Chain A
Amino acid sequence: MKATHNVHNFLEQFWPSTVDGLALGSIYALIALGYTMVYGVLRLINFAHSEIFMIGTMAVIGALHALGVSSLYGGLGLVGFVIVLAFLAGLASGASAVVLELVAYRPLRKKGASRLAALISAIGASLFLQQLFARIVIPEAFDLPKEKGALPVQGHFVERDNVIEIGDLVISNDKLIIFVGAILMMVALDQFVNRTRLGRGIRATAQDPETAVLMGVNIDRIVTATFAIGGAMAGVAAALFMLRFEEAKFDVGFLLGIKAFTAAVLGGIGNLRGALAGGLVLGLVEMYGAALFGTQWQHVIAFSVLVLVLMFRPTGILGESLQQARA
C-alpha cells in the first residue's frame, strides 16, 4: 500500500525532483571543488572549507545590507546582480581560505606533521570560525543582540518566475542560473587547471610534490593558489545558494560541507570532473530518494549511496586524477 503510494509520489514528483536535484547538485559540486583540489595537492581533508562557504554566504548578505537592496531583481538584471554578488563572495571566501591555510595548515606542513594532526587543526579552525561568526561577527555586522547571533540572517533579492515550462518540466529562473552558473565555473576551472602555467603547477604538485619542487615549482605558491581558487569556488557557490534559499546562519556550511565532501569522494576525490559528476549524482539521488522515501530519509539515502558506490568503485565514479587530468 505504502510502497505503491511512494512510487506514485515519485513519478508525480519526477521532473520537479530532477530540477531541484540538479540545482542542489550544482551547489554541492562547486563546494566539492575546494575539497577535491586541496585534497589533490595536500592529501588533506580541509574540514574548515564548510566555514569558507559560510563566510561567502555572510559576504552576500553583508553586501545586500550594505548596498541597501530593497527591490527584487528578475530577468537579466538578476543575472548581472548575481555575478556581482558571486564576485564579492568569491573574494571574501578566497581570501579567508588563504588566511586559513597560512594560520592553520602551513605551520604544520613546514613541520612535516601528520595528516591526522592537520585534520584536527582543520576541525579546530572550523569550530573557531563558526563560533567567531555566531558570537561576534554576525551580531556586530547585522546589529543583532549578541544572543541572536546563532539565528539565521536573511537577504532577499530574487523575484522568482518560471522561465521554462514544458509539460511537467518547470524551471524557475533561480534554478536555471544556479545550474548554468555552476557549469560555467566548472568549465572555466577545468580549462584553467589544464591550460595555464599555474594549473600545470597544481597538477604537477598533486602528482609528485618532490619532483615538482625539483622542477622549480614553488610549492607554497601552488598551495596558496589552490586554497584561493577552492575558496573562491565556495564563495560562488555561496552566492548561488543565497539566490535559492535567501538566508544563512553560522553553521549553514556544516551539512552542505559534509555533503559536498561526500560528492567529491563519490566522483573520485582529487578529480575536478569527478566533483561535478559526484555533485550532480548526489543532488539527484537525494531528491529522488526524498520523493520515494520521504524527506526525513534524504541524508541517510545520500550516505548509503556513497557506501554502495564505494563498494563497487573504491575510488569513486571517475577515479582520482587531478594529477592525470587529461587536456
Chain B
Amino acid sequence: MSNSTGVSARGKGRAGFGSAFPVAYERARRRAGARRAPLNLLLLPLLYVTETFGAINETFHEWWIRQPGWSRWTVYILLIVGGVLLPSEQVASFMSPETDWATLLFFPIGGYVLLAIGLNVVVGQAGLLDLGYVAFFAIGGYTMAVFGTKYGWSFWEILLVGLVLSALSGVVLGAPTLRLRGDYLAIVTLGFGEIVRITANNTEYIGGPNGIGGIPHPPSLSEWAFPDAFPFNLVGLEGVQPLSYGTLSAHSYYYLMLATIVAVIIFAKRLERSRVGRAWAAVREDEDAAELMGVPTFKFKLAAFAIGAAIGGAVGVVYASQAISIIPNNFPFILSATILAAVVMGGSGNIPGVMVGAFLVAWIPERIRFFGEYRVLIFGAVLVALMVFRPEGILPSRQRKAELEEGTGGMGSMGAEVAGPTADAEAGR
C-alpha cells in the first residue's frame, strides 16, 4: 500500500517552487479541455487558482520531507507563536471587522478545527463515514454542564470525565454498528446524532429544550498578563491575561482551545505514524484484505470511533465552559455535516488540510456577513464548486489522494464512474 503511493509521490516530485505555476497552468488547461462545455472558459481562472494551490502544496511537501529535524522544529515553534499572536488587533481588522475576533477564534473557528481533527481520525484515517459526530460534542458539552452545575466539579476534573464519557459513548455506538458497511454506518451515526439531541430535548433532568444555564468557567490558573513589551505591544495584546478565565474576554478561552488543539495534533500525529495508524490505513483501503492479513479490523475501527469521540467530547467540555449555557439546538445535524465538509474539503486524512478546511467553513460565513441573509446560500454553492473543481480537497494527504485515484480508500468512487472517454483520460492523468 505505502509502496505504490510512495512511487507515484516520488515520480512527480523534485520540482522547485518556480515550476509550480506552469505545472498548475498546464493541469488547469487540461482539466478544462477535457470537458468541452463553453462554461469552462469562464471557470478556467478558478481552476488555475485551485491547481496552483495544489502544485505549491506538493512543492512545499517535497521541501518539507527533506528538512532536518531542527528546521522542522523551527517551523512548529513559529506556528505556535503565530497561534499565540493570532488574536491581535491587526489580524482582527482584516479577518473579522464585524464580530469580536477572539470570540470567533475560540468558537466557531477553534472549535471547528478541533472537531475536524477529531472527525478526521474517524473519516480520514479509518475511512468510516460518521454523520452524527455532533453527538459526541453534545455529550462533552452536557458533561461539563451537568457536573459543573449539579455537582460543582471543576473544569479540569470534568475534562477528564468528559473524555471518558464521550469515548464510552463512541464505544456504545460503535460496538453494535461497526460491523455494518460504509453507508449503513452513515445513516446509523446520523440517527445517533439525532437521538442524542432529541433525548436531551426530552429529558427534564438536563433542562429539556431550555438546556442548562449557569455553567461555571474554569478556575483561573494565574493572573499573569502579557507584558507591555515586544511583540505583544505591537499587536495590541498587552495586558491580556491568557490564563484567567472570566466572562469579559475570550482570549484566555482561545488559548485554552489552542493548547488543546496542539495537544490533540501531537496525539493524532503520533497515532497516525503508529501501528494503530497503519492498521487504520489498511482498514480504509481494503477491509477484507486487512482482516486476512491479521489486522483485527473491528477492534481498530472501535478504537478510531472512541478516539474520535473523545476528541469531540473534549471540544464540548471546553465549549460549554465558555458558553455559560447550552441548549439541545446547539447540536444540530447541520453541524455534523459542516464538520464533515471541513474534513473532506480540506483534504481528508491530512491534519493541516482538515485544519484549513475547518478554518474556512467557520470563517467564510462570518467574513461574508455583509451578504447578510444570503451567506448560507453562498456557502452551499461554494461547497459544490469546491468539490466540483477539487474533489480531493484543498490539501489532500498524498496517500489518500493516491487511494482515491485508484478508487480504493474505504469510500471508493461512485458506482457508475466509468462514464466514457473523458473519465478515462482523467483517470490516466
Contacts of B411 in A (CB 8 A): 114-116
Contacts of B391 in A (CB 8 A): 108, 111, 113-114, 117-118
Kindly identify which residue among B191, B376, B388 contacts A108, using a CB–CB cutoff of 8 Å.
B388
In the complex, whether B184 has a CB less than 8 A from a CB of chain A is yes
Kindly identify which residue among A103, A104, A127 contacts B376, using a CB–CB cutoff of 8 Å.
A127
CB-CB contacts of A46-63 with B at 8 A, as 1s and 0s? 000000000000000000
**Given A127-B380, A303-B191, does the pair A113, B418 have CB atoms closer than 8 Å?**
no
B413 nearest CB neighbor, chain A only: A112
Q: Which A262-320 residues have a C-beta within 8 angstroms of B?
A: 262, 265, 269, 296-297, 299-300, 302-304, 306-307, 310-311, 314-315
Tell me whether A113 and B413 are in contact (CB under 8 A). yes
Tell me whether A300 and B199 are in contact (CB under 8 A). yes
Q: Which B167-202 residues have a C-beta within 8 angstroms of A?
A: 176-177, 179-181, 183-184, 186-188, 190-192, 194-195, 198-199, 201-202
In the complex, whether A157 has a CB less than 8 A from a CB of chain B is no
In the complex, whether B60 has a CB less than 8 A from a CB of chain A is no
Kindly identify which residue among A43, A135, A265, A303 contacts B195, using a CB–CB cutoff of 8 Å.
A303
Q: Which B371-429 residues have a C-beta within 8 angstroms of A?
A: 373-374, 376-377, 379-384, 386-388, 391-393, 404-405, 407, 409, 411-420, 422-423, 426-427
Chain B proximity of A311: nearest CB distance (Å): 5
Contacts of A45 in B (CB 8 A): 183, 186-187
Chain B proximity of A289: nearest CB distance (Å): 12
CA distance A245 to B179 in the complex (A): 39
**Given A42-B414, A109-B419, A206-B415, does the pair A304, B195 have CB atoms closer than 8 Å?**
yes
CA distance A306 to B404 in the complex (A): 30
In the complex, whether B258 has a CB less than 8 A from a CB of chain A is no
The interface stretch among B110-118, B152-160, B337-345 is B337-345
CA distance A219 to B416 in the complex (A): 7
Q: Which A129-182 residues have a C-beta within 8 angstroms of B?
A: 129-132, 135, 146-147
Contacts of A209 in B (CB 8 A): 415-418
Tell me whether B179 and A220 are in contact (CB under 8 A). no
B382 nearest CB neighbor, chain A only: A124
Kindly identify which residue among B176, B384, B426 contacts A124, using a CB–CB cutoff of 8 Å.
B384
Contacts of A269 in B (CB 8 A): 183-184
In the complex, whether A120 has a CB less than 8 A from a CB of chain B is yes
Tell me whether A109 and B417 are in contact (CB under 8 A). yes
In the complex, whether B348 has a CB less than 8 A from a CB of chain A is yes
Contacts of A300 in B (CB 8 A): 194-195, 198-199, 202
Tell me whether B381 and A112 are in contact (CB under 8 A). no
**Given A123-B340, A127-B379, does the pair A219, B388 have CB atoms closer than 8 Å?**
no
**Given A115-B411, A123-B340, A310-B177, does the pair A220, B419 have CB atoms closer than 8 Å?**
yes
Contacts of B334 in A (CB 8 A): 127
Contacts of A121 in B (CB 8 A): 383-384, 387-388
Contacts of B379 in A (CB 8 A): 124, 127
Taking A45-B187, A296-B201 as given, write out 6 further A-B residue pairs in contact, using a Cβ cutoff of 8 Å, ordered by the A residue number.
A43-B415, A44-B414, A107-B35, A118-B414, A124-B381, A128-B377
**Which A residues lie at the B interface, using CB under 8 A?**
39-45, 103-105, 107-121, 123-132, 135, 146-147, 205-206, 209-210, 213, 219-220, 222-223, 254, 258, 261-262, 265, 269, 296-297, 299-300, 302-304, 306-307, 310-311, 314-315
